[in-house]
Structure 1
Amino acid sequence: MCNANILIIGGGISGLSTAWWLAEGGARPEVWDAAPRLGGKIRSHSESGYLTEDAAGILMNFHKEVDQLIEASGLSDKKISRGTDMRRYVVHKGELRPVPMKLPALLASPMWSLRGKLRMATELLVAKGGHERETVSEFIRRRLGSEILEKVMDPFIAGTLASDPDMANAWAVLPRLTALERRYGSFTSGMFINRVLHKKGRANIAEAFSFLGGMAQLTEQMAAHPAINTRRGFKAVDIEPADKGGWRVTGVDSQGIEITRRFAQLVISTPAPAAADLLNPINRELGKLLQGIEYAPLTVLHLGMVRDNIAHPLDGTGFLAPRQEQLSFNGNMWMSTLFPDRAPEGKVLLTSYIGGARHPHRCSWSEQQMVGNTLHDLRQLVGVTGEPEYVRRVQHTQALPLYHGHYYERTESIRSQLGKHRGLHLAANYLDGVSARDRIIQGAITAQRLLNSRQSVSRKPAAHVNPAVVH
């Protein structure tokens, strides 16, 4: 049994981000992943001239640390930004309506009743409130009223997080908005102050982008760091505290060959069920807490269409579907409008997200049912005629962890149990955010914690960041 310094179990974006920041800080981490490829659910697929994504198709960022990673990893030349003036649509009474991003235009939209407009306009006057168990629905209804919840926030939470706003924890799912309320008493005033700070160069503005070649460029570039040693197709099957400190970890390769090694620090970056299996033997309570984390199923359906067979100008990012509209999907993104090289010349790529916590049963539909139901809705909403020339379906039985119910109590209990084990860390999307941006930031935080615990002084420490700070 040989000794090493840091092992990361799980080579998705959480594990790779942690490894990358560690490597930048002077460490030489090792990453084990049971799959034959790294990147987790992030995967880009090129076929018949279409470039599709298995999971995240866009990265929304407002943290300088993400920019730092992209520049330092050599991805700047491949970064492609979404246009800032692109429209965002929502379905309202069976039609697509643009959702303005500026408050005056938002209030002037015909989607709202007079009462709804007045309710939104007076958010500044609503007393500060809320608590750690408040749901998204309760938070938005309390501050902005029911109309914006039903017409905008409900489809946003379902479409982007596969979650249910009636159950989702507001502090966890809407950290920026809830933090603005806690800090300024109102997120209307908070947004105004942040805009002033941005003009003075003290705050970051949000930017949405992807990469030439797809989102997989991000994870592939992180994994390619020369200081990171990766083992693919290598599954961790047992962990236990080592006699003289650190962790003894046993792994098995694809040929069934078993290897046991000792590491000073151990980071588990697998989904919660796999983490629970590893941790149950050493801490049954921690394993139980992790096993209780729910995941939503989600199907990503890509349709390649002839551009001339669609009446709508497709002049935006796509649209989201409120539950009251009773559509077959949660949202539809116009990927070929967002970024180049997503579809052949004269064709378009429309990507729908089906299922989630709101409609998990829809993930059991056959491909024929999914395509048929999706086309039925697209014909009415964007004027699709004819049939798709390209279809690709990606099914995730456990797509995203749900920050539902007593999320904060559960995560606090997880952290409490974790604190009993020196040199053991968790870095995964069931803690502190599911987006690629969140995972990069949390990777930096985890890496900093490990670097600080090392005996020797790192030659290039990872950035110390705090995602709870409002930018």
Structure 2
Amino acid sequence: MSKKINRVAIVGAGITGLVTAWKLQKFGVEVDVFERKAEPGGAIKTVKEDDWQVEYGPNTLLLKDRLVAEFITELGLNGEKKTANPEASKRFVVKNGVLEPLPSSLKSAATTPLFSFGGKLRVLAEPFIPKSSDRDQTVAEFVERRLGKEMLDYAINPFVAGIYANRPEYLSLRHAFPMMDDLEQEYGSMIWGTFAGSKKRKERGRIERELISFEKGMQQLPLTVAKQLNSMYLNHEVRSIKKQDGKWSVESSLGKFGPYDQIILNIPIYKLNNDLVPATSEELKILNKVNYPPLSVMLLGFKKEDVKHELDGFGFLVPEQENRKILGALFSSTLFDDRAPQDMHLLTVFVGGGRQPELADKNSEELLKIVMAELEDLIGLKGEPQFKDHVYWPQSIPGYHVGYDEILDTIKNIEERNEGLTLAGNFRNGISVPDCIKNGLRLADQLAGSVSY
């Protein structure tokens, strides 16, 4: 049992830190949140310009866990929720330069041109493939072994690019997609496990899926959490943390704060250094192995008459096999109403990532030429953009590589050696917004309820 905590400092106002602060505050804990930027939210940022509303970071939140749904209700955001339009259920994958819809039924799975007859038969053999004894295989190794090369190339490769902005060859299945690993380990098959495990998933808090955002965009979520906190210091870059006589203190660009019973560092792992973490040089070297690939996001608006494709879906993903210079695009104005003027389409296009990192850091003009050429070919675009914006993330999403246990063990060792210190963020227990919300809620429960993390 750990001692009761009364005062906590959280460094970093990303969604994990904000949610942890919000829940700790409900337990009666005094919490100070420090953020180096002028506003909270981390990578979650919405920009409104005239009739255009764009997202610099996450565009949607997939609501499938009761815990997250209850949190949104308690925040008072249910009335602000925007459910994605029905068209968003259709998703496209590029095959031979054509946007093909992903199968959504057994009939469409049988007739889709995305996979050959042999590739479809190969998927049906999945229940008879023995499970692997390798407990840390790559996503690519797992999928090719269980489902075949076509499924890897034209389903999982673009899917991984859409979630992690990375390649399946670079990611650990057990860490990046633990559910897929669990299905193989528990049921010996993804197909059998999907059906047999549905009851168990409901018991674990799964609810009917709903793809959402909010009336004022995704940033309305962190801004709402932040408004309900008692103490937040914006434009305060924390330069060092120190422990003396069993208590922690924080030194920011604007002064010294403390004492605290607990420090939560909710910052990217690549920003950790000896001033912020009492770690050895070898430990910091290990943590720096986590790769955050660079990513560019192009936000482009076009007249509807200038786009041949109906854009009747969520968006499209580009398999690496297609040898193109974009990872994919979201049809943002199809996803949600009021994201663009009535006679316009808004697209969010992704470039770079772990697949083509050298493209991500090109300047806006170079990238625009690349993206326009691809869109002309793929969706029949003619005409110039009526709106354009470019967001560059030099270090975007942490890649959970094979051997990631070494990262997690190192973090655990640092925490055990420094009682009252916790490292939190999307480098641990999932990268999605719902993952970060759940992690924040559980961390607060564990800290206030004396449960081990």
TM-score by length of 1: 0.90
Q: 1:422 matched to which residue of 2? A: 419
Indicate which of 310, 314, 319 corresponds to 1:317: 314
Q: 2:410 matched to which residue of 1? A: 413
Q: 2:223 matched to which residue of 1? A: 220
Q: 2:64 matched to which residue of 1? A: 62
Amino acid at match of 2:269: A
Distance across 2 between alignment mates of 1:76 and 1:214: 14
Query: Over aligned residues, Cα RMSD in angstroms?
Result: 2.2
Amino acid at match of 1:32: F
Q: 1:21 matched to which residue of 2? A: 23
Structure 1 residue matching 2:142: 3-state secondary structure: helix
Aligned length: 448
Distance across 2 between alignment mates of 1:38 and 1:62: 25
Percent of pairs with identical residues:
32
Q: CA deviation at 1:377?
A: 1.3
Q: Which runs of 5+ in 1 are unaligned?
A: 455-463, 467-471
For the Cα contact (< 8 Å) 1:279–1:287, is it kept in 2? Answer: no
Q: CA deviation at 1:21?
A: 2.0
For the Cα contact (< 8 Å) 1:248–1:260, is it kept in 2? Answer: yes
Against the structure 1 CA distance between its residues 252 and 54, is the aligned structure 2 distance closer, same or farther, given a 3 Å change threshold? same
Matched, 1:207 2:206: no
Q: 1:6 matched to which residue of 2? A: 8
Amino acid at match of 1:18: T
1:41-87 C-alpha deviation (Å, 9 max, x unpaired): 11100113110111100112321111011100011111111245621
Indicate which of 179, 183, 195 corresponds to 1:192: 195
Matched, 1:97 2:100: yes
Structure 2 residue matching 1:276: 3-state secondary structure: coil
Q: CA deviation at 1:372?
A: 1.4
Q: 2:332 matched to which residue of 1? A: 335
Distance across 2 between alignment mates of 1:280 and 1:416: 12
For the Cα contact (< 8 Å) 1:286–1:418, is it kept in 2? Answer: no
For the Cα contact (< 8 Å) 2:295–2:392, is it kept in 1? Answer: yes
Q: 1:247 matched to which residue of 2? A: 248
Q: CA deviation at 1:248?
A: 2.3
For the Cα contact (< 8 Å) 1:133–1:408, is it kept in 2? Answer: no
Amino acid at match of 1:58: T
Q: CA deviation at 1:96?
A: 0.6
Against the structure 1 CA distance between its residues 196 and 431, is the aligned structure 2 distance closer, same or farther, given a 3 Å change threshold? closer
For the Cα contact (< 8 Å) 1:4–1:262, is it kept in 2? Answer: no
Matched, 1:133 2:129: no
Structure 1 residue matching 2:169: 3-state secondary structure: coil
Q: CA deviation at 1:169?
A: 0.7
Q: CA deviation at 1:413?
A: 2.6
Distance across 1 between alignment mates of 2:194 and 2:402: 28
Amino acid at match of 1:65: L
1:393-436 C-alpha deviation (Å, 9 max, x unpaired): 01111111111231122212321232111111111111111111
1:252-309 C-alpha deviation (Å, 9 max, x unpaired): 22xxxx2242100110001112223434555444433333322111111000011111
Matched, 1:148 2:171: no
Q: 1:48 matched to which residue of 2? A: 50
Q: 1:293 matched to which residue of 2? A: 290
Q: CA deviation at 1:103?
A: 4.6
Distance across 1 between alignment mates of 2:137 and 2:293: 20
Against the structure 1 CA distance between its residues 56 and 296, is the aligned structure 2 distance closer, same or farther, given a 3 Å change threshold? same
Structure 1 residue matching 2:293: 3-state secondary structure: strand
Q: Which runs of 5+ in 2 are unaligned?
A: none
Structure 1 residue matching 2:213: 3-state secondary structure: strand
Against the structure 1 CA distance between its residues 223 and 326, is the aligned structure 2 distance closer, same or farther, given a 3 Å change threshold? same
Q: 1:173 matched to which residue of 2? A: 176
Q: CA deviation at 1:246?
A: 2.8
Against the structure 1 CA distance between its residues 311 and 135, is the aligned structure 2 distance closer, same or farther, given a 3 Å change threshold? same
355-364 vs 203-212, which moves further: 203-212
Distance across 2 between alignment mates of 1:89 and 1:136: 21
1:96-139 C-alpha deviation (Å, 9 max, x unpaired): 10001345532431221222111111211222225332101001
Q: 1:233 matched to which residue of 2? A: 235
Distance across 2 between alignment mates of 1:142 and 1:78: 44
Structure 1 residue matching 2:275: 3-state secondary structure: helix
Structure 2 residue matching 1:351: 3-state secondary structure: strand
285-294 vs 430-439, which moves further: 285-294
Structure 1 residue matching 2:168: 3-state secondary structure: coil
For the Cα contact (< 8 Å) 2:331–2:347, is it kept in 1? Answer: yes
Q: 1:394 matched to which residue of 2? A: 391
1:223-266 C-alpha deviation (Å, 9 max, x unpaired): 1114x4100011221112221x231222222xxxx224210011
For the Cα contact (< 8 Å) 2:138–2:173, is it kept in 1? Answer: yes
Q: CA deviation at 1:94?
A: 0.7
Distance across 1 between alignment mates of 2:293 and 2:202: 40
